[in-house]
Structure 1
Amino acid sequence: MLAAGSAVSLPANAFGLRRKLRVTLVGTGIRGISFWGRRLVEQYPDQLEFVGLSDINPGRLQYGKTYMKVNCPTFVSFEEMLCETKPDLVIVCTTDSSHHEQTIAGLAAGCDVLTEKPLTTDEVKAQAILNAERRYGKKLIVGFNYRWSPYMTKIKELIMNGEIGEVTSVDFNWYLNVHHGASYFRRWHGLMDKGGSLWIHKATHHFDLLNWWLDSEPDEVFAYGALEHYGKNGAFRGANCRSCTHKKECNYYWDITKDSHAMNLYVANEAHDGYVRDGCVYRNEIDIYDKMSAQIKYANGAIANYSLTTYSPFEGWRIAFNGQKGRIEAWLDIPWMKNDSLDQESLHAAEMQQVENVDIIHEPLVLYKNWQDYQLIQVASERAGHGGGDRRLHDKLFKQPEAPDPYGHSAGLRDGVMSILIGVAARRSIEKGGPVKIGSLTDLKPMAKRG
């Protein structure tokens, strides 16, 4: 990867080895042991092997080893794991606020590092990671899977091909339903010092898509946000759902005891670190925003209006690109637009359990050209696995690293930094009540065109 985090994508051969890749995983929560754990073990046995697992919670660590079906050693000390196992690749799936620690240590140990999104939670940590990549010369990969879905790729293709001309503005609305949205407020993600708010943890996905679609980088952000639904706004609260006396009257009551995987991974290991997976969505310590809206000015002149809702009756999103020659409208899972009634709780369960479904479905988008009739385009897609993005990302990394990447799906350090800086700038904008320049946050200066 080029110096200073300036590379747009990975090199042709991501790891340059003629043997199995030696992989370690730090952070054995549900995302780590499933998407970056068991799935890799099952799908890529000829390409890689896990040589170590690490977590500060020894109970969760042992359960993760069993769930992943691996025989590698386990370590409570991440540094000890690096020293003893000598991995080629470190996969980081710890709490967002600590990503920089394991990432920098991995680079310093001479390893390539793949970090779950988001890259990190603030500009200081982002700069430290940039400095480390420059100093140690190893590769940093960010696990942006949404880019790889066929539906997202079709949007990229239309824009790249100039179907609507130069894009001048974007309207992007994301809706988390009362199951998925609430789940963030039950977990450590509800605390600013752990996840940096949903501006970072969740919206980094969306901001990365915007940056990728527009092939440009953000220049300035102005935002609003507030906590008005969860946290202290509740009429009652408890320590967690299991022990709560308000189970019958709380719409957000979640019975974790019906989820054996969550019980074995989290509840059985609470004594080690005190982490409670079914925390109350109304607990007073919650300090992140639950409604968010931002205006993003890009270096190429485009303007994006973005909003995130965390307590919607349905889960989905929609976007519209306005160009000099036309307009693209796209959406997924908006019930009334398909005359469909999706089971919202099941949608969330599939997301959390990393259910993979390769059944092909077709999702529409609309292409308008000035002075012409609109075209309804049906895009072959998949219901689970982030619309097929999960599988395609993994295949590119571990099975087909030299395959062509004409749409620039692969994400490196600069992509990770630019996606989180929009969220960081949004937080700073809310705090100071004014716009924030992206170029003031790190030593990366926004580029008008990435290609």
Structure 2
Amino acid sequence: MMPPKRFVLVGTGMRARDFVRPLVTRYRDSARLVGLCDLSPTRLAFFNHCLTHEWGSTAVSTAAPADFDRLLRDQHADAVIVTTVDAAHHDYITRALRAGCEVITEKPLTTDAGKCQLILDEVARTGGRVRVAFNYRWHPHRTEVRRLLAAGTIGAIKSVNLEYLLDTDHGADYFRRWHARMDQSGGLLVHKSTHHFDLVNWWLDAIPERVFAQGQLVFYGRANALARGDGALAAYPRYTDADCATDPFRFSLRDAGVMEALYLNAEADSAYVRDQNVFREDIDIHDQMSVLVRYRTGQLLNYSLVGFSPREGMRVTFNGDRGRLEYYEFIRAPVLGRLHPASVQANDQPDHRIRVFPHFATEYEVTVAPHAGGHGGADPQLAEQIFSPQPPADSHRRNAGPEQGAASALVGIAANASIRSGEAINLLDLVRLAPHARRLSELA
């Protein structure tokens, strides 16, 4: 029997819990958490408390960021899970590769072209393995969409339209957090849209080539609140302990649970405020964006993202030379039901639909059996691929390496550059990503 693979995790925020929990419970016989790294001793202590009191495991070694390399050496780490702020991904990915470790990174791969090139160069130099944890690919309905397209159900695909809506609970949450700073997240076109760009790349099995974009901040931020006559909602810097009982954007960290332990209690040693007012001055990302993408295979993508909708989800349409496929997905963000249950629309319950409209034939709906687990059943399947010593074969090619991670992140990075310059951006002018390849499946 092979000894358990030894994992170190860096960045102990909420997303880290989704990796650690299955690692130390379901996969405890084949995988072992041996270290945690974070700038906050409070968060590290809380994670060790969860390990011993919530998940039935044992406490592990901890380290500050400056001691990350020593932690890998001392714990003989085999693999590193990166769940830090997006702008720091490249640092820990490259350090882990130099230490001889496999890397599993949360999306996006990184936030700008220079960092992307650093990662790809280090992968080439070391021969190391990097996996980008795109859980969106593992959702059963999205997998079925790919199967239908790959089977030629609507012929050769010529264009895609994808509209994504973030609601005023989940969407607003990005503007409370570090994500509202372009230098930390790359904005929503990198942090959030990397999911959607990756889906389209994967659905089409194509590599993006050229991007043009427009973006605005039209709802969040102090100036927009004042312009709408909502100045009272901008009167306090944060929500916890503020006099804001009637504010629909309120978000208290005093929950006597994970939020309070990870964030409120850690403010002194992390300097991070998790519940900032969404109508403050220093927001520099966009909340309304439109992107046009041309692929090396000739298809076009029209993409839009709005961050202040009363409902959340996406509509995707594929136009082929033998018909049209429509994918409809509306979900209730977890934040919504917890904070404002009365705002749930009566006719807007969680729903996923796939409809096919063949040329000269009757339309039909494709049903997909429900799957248990987080993110519509995606999380358990992804965890099995990461932590199982013998994961099942995947005929849908849902595992993504560093080049495929770059192919989605670079669309958002190029879109940001296009918004700044007003010009269309060629992705090969940013990063030399497999210049002679056309299909996503040709990339690592």
TM over 0.5: yes
Work out the number of aligned pairs and report it: 415
| 1:352-376 C-alpha deviation (Å, 9 max, x unpaired) | xxxxxxxxx9843101111100111
Q: Structure 2 CA distance, aligned partners of 1:27 and 1:419?
A: 22
Which residue in 2 is equivalent to 1:212? 202
Deviation at 1:212, TM superposition (A): 0.3
Amino acid across the alignment from 1:324: D
8 A contact 2:253–2:263 mirrored in 1: no
Which residue in 1 is equivalent to 2:345? none
Q: Which of 51, 54, 66 is the matching residue for 2:49?
A: 66
Q: Structure 2 CA distance, aligned partners of 1:382 and 1:257?
A: 33
Q: Secondary structure at the match of 1:380?
A: coil
Deviation at 1:287, TM superposition (A): 0.4
Deviation at 1:92, TM superposition (A): 0.6
Q: Structure 1 CA distance, aligned partners of 2:12 and 2:103?
A: 16
Counting only pairs closer than 5 Å after superposition, residues 245-284 of structure 1 correspond to structure 2 as 245=243, 247-258=244-255, 260-284=257-281
Q: Secondary structure at the match of 2:431?
A: coil
Q: Structure 2 CA distance, aligned partners of 1:91 and 1:284?
A: 34
The runs of at least 4 consecutive aligned structure 1 residues that moved more than 6 Å come to none
Structure 2 CA distance for partners of 1:135 and 1:105, relative to 1, 3 Å:
same
Q: Which of 311, 315, 320 is the matching residue for 1:318?
A: 315
2:80 maps to 1:80: no
8 A contact 2:316–2:326 mirrored in 1: yes
Deviation at 1:39, TM superposition (A): 2.5
Which residue in 2 is equivalent to 1:304? 301
Which residue in 2 is equivalent to 1:294? 291
8 A contact 1:54–1:75 mirrored in 2: yes
8 A contact 2:19–2:383 mirrored in 1: no
Which residue in 1 is equivalent to 2:429? 440
- Structure 2: state its 5+ residue gaps: 53-57, 226-230, 340-349
Q: Secondary structure at the match of 1:294?
A: strand
Deviation at 1:37, TM superposition (A): 1.0
Q: Structure 1 CA distance, aligned partners of 2:309 and 2:112?
A: 28
Q: Which of 352, 358, 375 is the matching residue for 1:369?
A: 358
Amino acid across the alignment from 1:55: D
Deviation at 1:405, TM superposition (A): 1.6
Q: Secondary structure at the match of 2:393?
A: coil
Deviation at 1:401, TM superposition (A): 4.0
| 1:385-442 C-alpha deviation (Å, 9 max, x unpaired) | 1221111111122226452221111110111101100000100000010110011111
Q: Structure 2 CA distance, aligned partners of 1:198 and 1:346?
A: 20
| 1:129-150 C-alpha deviation (Å, 9 max, x unpaired) | 0011111111011101110111
Structure 2 CA distance for partners of 1:379 and 1:190, relative to 1, 3 Å:
same
TM-score if structure 2 supplies the norm length? 0.90
Which residue in 2 is equivalent to 1:31? 15
Deviation at 1:445, TM superposition (A): 3.9
2:326 maps to 1:329: yes
Q: Secondary structure at the match of 1:388?
A: helix
Q: Secondary structure at the match of 1:219?
A: strand
Amino acid across the alignment from 1:73: S
Deviation at 1:62, TM superposition (A): 0.7
Structure 2 CA distance for partners of 1:202 and 1:347, relative to 1, 3 Å:
farther
Q: Structure 2 CA distance, aligned partners of 1:379 and 1:22?
A: 36
2:391 maps to 1:391: no
Q: Structure 1 CA distance, aligned partners of 2:290 and 2:182?
A: 17
Q: Structure 1 CA distance, aligned partners of 2:363 and 2:433?
A: 40
Amino acid across the alignment from 2:315: R
Q: Structure 1 CA distance, aligned partners of 2:302 and 2:419?
A: 16
| 1:241-279 C-alpha deviation (Å, 9 max, x unpaired) | 02434x145321122213621001110110002101111
Structure 2 CA distance for partners of 1:411 and 1:238, relative to 1, 3 Å:
same
Which residue in 2 is equivalent to 1:172? 162
| 1:330-367 C-alpha deviation (Å, 9 max, x unpaired) | 11127xxxxxxx68744578xxxxxxxxxxx9843101
2:236 maps to 1:238: yes
Amino acid across the alignment from 1:26: V
The Cα RMSD (Å) is 1.8
Amino acid across the alignment from 2:262: L
| Greater mean deviation of Cα atoms: 176-185 or 62-71 | 62-71
2:187 maps to 1:160: no
Structure 2 CA distance for partners of 1:433 and 1:269, relative to 1, 3 Å:
same
Q: Structure 2 CA distance, aligned partners of 1:346 and 1:182?
A: 11
Structure 2 CA distance for partners of 1:362 and 1:263, relative to 1, 3 Å:
closer
TM-score if structure 1 supplies the norm length? 0.88
Amino acid across the alignment from 1:120: T
